[in-house]
């Protein structure tokens, strides 16, 4: 369990894509900081394993299977969280996929599935929690985007478009909900060591490292540390922003 360094005592959080990689690290970090966490993904066994890690460390978690691309499914996750803990303070929209292909070979379903899970998934989550957050007079929403949404990448037009969309969505909702004490920010990781980047060829990985000033890929905990801060009371005057966690790879 990571050290508790930001206080989320008494908070309730929903984290999508919490069964692996970055989402798992965020869930563990938030739980260690005092938040009760609803863990969301499609595979129950993977979620149960994360729930067990958190419970053994003295945290509180529940596993909820669901598909973020489906609004009814996301609403069900919010309802189940409210039934158990009567509140949702924090939503982390982290679930995401890649289906890489060059434009000329990209199939419609490769475009649609990436947009549905990465971008519409964020919309579904925001829509599902907003009514409750408005009633509760506050909330924190953090969307995981990507540096690829800022710089583009050959073979990832669907992924880049979905992640750029998340940044526009974040800014617009920040303007809509700011007066209601709901903050929304995006975190843009660079190359982070997870199953998603494990697929990359070793030569590609070595080449990429030469374009990262810190000379290495990041860890999921590097992203979780910032997410935890943005979810805390200490981040109450920050909204509508995108923060890169990328070893300096992209400097705007």
If one asks whether residue 21 binds ligand NDP (CB under 6 A), the answer comes out as yes
Contact segment (CB under 6 A) with ligand NDP among 83-91, 171-179, 195-203, 231-239 equals 195-203
Smallest separation (angstroms) from ligand NDP to the CB of 68: 4
If one asks whether residue 205 binds ligand NDP (CB under 6 A), the answer comes out as no
Residues 154 and 102: beta-carbon distance below 8 Å: yes
- Among positions 196, 208, 238, 250, the unique one binding ligand NDP when judged by CB under 6 A: 196
CA dihedral 11, 15, 18, 23 (to 10 degrees): -90
Q: Which is nearer to ligand NDP, 139 or 189 (CB)?
A: 189
- Among positions 2, 46, 229, 240, the unique one binding ligand NDP when judged by CB under 6 A: 46
Give the integer Cα–Cα distance in Å for 37 and 85. Answer: 10
Give the integer Cα–Cα distance in Å for 228 and 15. Answer: 12
Give the integer Cα–Cα distance in Å for 217 and 215. Answer: 7
Query: In the numeric block, which tokens belong to residue 52?
Result: 């067990």
Give the integer Cα–Cα distance in Å for 126 and 108. Answer: 26
Smallest separation (angstroms) from ligand NDP to the CB of 179: 28
The dihedral sign for the CA sequence 139, 181, 233, 163: positive
Alpha carbon 83 to chain centroid distance?
23
Per the residue annotation, which of 5, 159, 191, 237 is the catalytic one?
159
Smallest separation (angstroms) from ligand NDP to the CB of 77: 9
The dihedral sign for the CA sequence 22, 209, 201, 160: positive
If one asks whether residue 183 binds ligand NDP (CB under 6 A), the answer comes out as no
If one asks whether residue 69 binds ligand NDP (CB under 6 A), the answer comes out as yes
191 catalytic per annotation = no
Smallest separation (angstroms) from ligand NDP to the CB of 94: 5
Smallest separation (angstroms) from ligand NDP to the CB of 157: 15
Report the site for ligand NDP in 84-113 (rule: CB under 6 A): 94-97
Size of the site for ligand NDP (CB under 6 A): 29
Please tell me whether residue 145 adopts helix, strand or coil conformation.
coil
Query: In the numeric block, which tokens belong to residue 49?
Result: 């394993």
Smallest separation (angstroms) from ligand NDP to the CB of 138: 25
Contact segment (CB under 6 A) with ligand NDP among 5-13, 65-73, 129-137, 167-175 equals 65-73
CA–CA distances in Å: residue 149 to residues 162, 215, 244: 7, 21, 11
If one asks whether residue 20 binds ligand NDP (CB under 6 A), the answer comes out as yes
Pairing assessment for the beta strands 61-65 and 90-93 based on DSSP bridges: unpaired
Catalytic residues: 159
The footprint of ligand NDP (CB under 6 A) covers 16-17, 19-23, 40-43, 46, 67-69, 94-97, 117, 144, 146, 189, 191-192, 194-197
């Amino acid at each position: 369990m990571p050290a508790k360094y930001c206080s989320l005592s008494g908070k309730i959080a929903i984290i999508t894509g919490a069964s692996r990689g970055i989402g798992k690290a965020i869930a563990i970090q938030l739980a260690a900081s005092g938040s009760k966490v609803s863990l969301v993904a499609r595979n129950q066994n993977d979620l149960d394993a994360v729930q067990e890690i958190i419970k053994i460390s003295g945290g509180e978690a529940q596993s909820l299977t669901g598909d973020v691309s489906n609004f009814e499914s996301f609403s069900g996750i919010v309802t189940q969280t409210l039934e158990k803990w009567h509140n949702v303070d924090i939503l982390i929209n982290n679930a995401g996929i890649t289906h890489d292909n060059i434009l000329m070979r990209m199939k419609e379903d490769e475009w649609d599935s990436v947009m549905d899970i990465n971008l519409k998934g964020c919309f579904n989550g925001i829509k599902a929690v907003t009514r409750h957050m408005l009633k509760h007079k506050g909330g924190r929403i953090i969307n995981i985007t990507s540096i690829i949404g800022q710089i583009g990448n050959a073979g990832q037009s669907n992924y880049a478009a979905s992640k750029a969309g998340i940044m526009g969505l974040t800014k617009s909702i920040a303007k809509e909900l700011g007066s209601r004490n709901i903050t929304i920010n995006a975190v843009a990781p660079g190359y982070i060591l997870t199953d998603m980047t494990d697929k990359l060829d070793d030569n590609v990985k070595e080449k990429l490292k030469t374009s990262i000033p810190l000379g290495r890929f990041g860890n999921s905990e590097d992203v979780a540390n910032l997410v935890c801060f943005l979810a805390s009371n200490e981040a109450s005057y920050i909204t509508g922003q995108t923060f890169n966690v990328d070893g300096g790879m992209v400097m705007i």
